[in-house]
Chains A and B, each alone.
Chain A
């Protein structure tokens, strides 16, 4: 019983905005299945009483003052942009065909 099906991989790729073609799906799905099977061993290892670690160091309350700090010029900000118009980042139409 595979941990993850080809369809599931396709769905996840969609969620992650990666356009995988059939060949890639055929190639990746079994590899992912093997990996997930091995990490599935994690289940049941830690009891309910074990708290999760999201940060390895016990820091809290790191704040900065509400003071302006120099940033980037628009030229710097837009320097790597694939397309620029009116000093803004030009992006393709946001709505898809079905919308």
Chain B
């Protein structure tokens, strides 16, 4: 079935978008939510399991206090109210990666609720309202065998590893995000980025979208412009990067508009986002609005955080993102625009870490927002997923500062980093990128150029210093860029004065 996509700009002429973002954060606690199994990434299958997380008959859950603490801190950082009394609930449904065929979660009594997060897009602030944040457990991991692509379609059977089952998750749900208009995709992306920054600052999760420690489901609906109503929404999963969040919103808006303007109606369903095409396809049909039969978990007792404990935890919160950004901007001496661009590119933390590794603020910003941002765009990944570390960027800049290489050569070093050729210093060595520092060789090259260009040399002798540029260009070309242009200029002027 071919779908008509209404061009994005046109969508806004007739429709108002409403978004809902559900983010799952995997906590970095040492043990699982309801048992003492370790949570380390990458262990051999089924080596981090026990009767409880395996759902063996007779096993029972016991709540990880550290996870509750993390949930409360996330709630406080999101300006939420913290429940005085709440319970866990069972969400009942069958799926082979679910050891008990119910998920122990929270239903109508989340631990945190009614909060907000302010996000900035192009200098404007949008307040995203948070409906709730609650605790739940992760499922096991299924590997599908027998299909062509390792995906679930066409698989003959699946292999389940329950190491991941029971790892603590905090689910954060926004209220419908309205009034964003054409900025909807960016607001969604900025929300997830800001939320990520906030949770990372709390130290409770690695929040790596590429590793699954932060997962985002995007809900979107369109309503006729100005109607104030809410349309039928679709949910899109498999959104594994900040870029994908933006693209998923953009695509769904176009797709919904295509259906609606043709007089059709939106099917309320779950869709799957495809990274390579930026489109969505119909996912597993939600088994006729599955009735989860929620009821309070009888094997666990209520969680009633004392107000003293909540205030104690409030005292452990780091500065909120907006305050942090203001402070950093002042420290770094960035203009408002420079700061906005840095944040907008998702490079704030990276720049911060690069500076911490020794680079000057402007240099750090320059590399991340030009070279690396371009590379990220070309390869279609988030800037944080490029595989280049702030440490490495600082090393490159240090090499430039030491005049071992210049800016142009630095770009080649980055190429080497993308290719995984080693550290910046190793790459300079291997590729022979070091700037020639031998005065004799430089002098000889300058002499050669002067001899070959008598007219230009005459002009320079006559005082037209700018003419040196042409000579510098030639010499740099001769030396394959491996010369310090500044020193070359000095030598030219010395010799022709």
Contacts and interface: CB of A to CB of B under 8 A. Distances in A.
Q: A and B touching (C-beta < 8 Å)?
A: yes
Interface of A: 15, 17, 54-55, 59-74, 77-78, 85-95, 99
Given A55-B302, A60-B303, A90 B159 contact: yes
A81 B276 CA distance: 38
Contacts of B38: 68
Contacts of B155: 93-95
A9 B156 CA distance: 31
A86 B44 CA distance: 10
B175 interface: no
Interface string B142-177: 111110000011011111111000000000000000
B158 A91 contact: yes
Given A54-B296, A71-B37, A72-B49, A63 B161 contact: no
Q: Which 10 A-B pairs have the closest CB atoms?
A: A69-B36, A63-B65, A71-B50, A66-B66, A88-B159, A54-B296, A59-B301, A89-B160, A60-B304, A91-B96
Nearest to A92: B157
Given A66-B29, A72-B50, A61 B301 contact: yes
Contacts of A86: 45, 159
A63 B48 CA distance: 21
Contacts of B330: none
Contacts, number: 129
Contacts of A90: 157-160
B231 to A, nearest CB: 26
A40 B46 CA distance: 45
B31 interface: yes
B303 A61 contact: yes
Q: Is the interface of A mostly helix, strand, loop or mixed?
A: loop
A90 to B, nearest CB: 6
Nearest to A69: B36
A14 to B, nearest CB: 10
Interface in B295-315: 295-296, 298, 300-305
Interface string B91-127: 0001110000000000000000000000000000000
A13 B371 CA distance: 60
Given A63-B65, A64-B62, A88-B143, A95 B153 contact: yes
A93 B30 contact: no
Contacts of B143: 88
A99 to B, nearest CB: 6
B68 interface: yes
Contacts of B153: 95, 99
A55 B298 contact: yes
A36 B35 CA distance: 37
B87 interface: yes
A67 B51 CA distance: 17
Nearest to A85: B159
Contact of A63 (B35, B46, B63, B284): B63
Given A72-B54, A74-B44, A88-B159, A63 B298 contact: no
Given A62-B300, A71-B53, A94-B144, 17 more contacts: A60-B301, A60-B304, A61-B301, A61-B304, A63-B65, A63-B68, A66-B29, A67-B30, A77-B54, A78-B46, A85-B159, A89-B46, A90-B157, A95-B152, A95-B155, A99-B284, A99-B285
B63 A62 contact: yes
B213 interface: no
Contact of A74 (B47, B63, B144): B47
B64 interface: yes
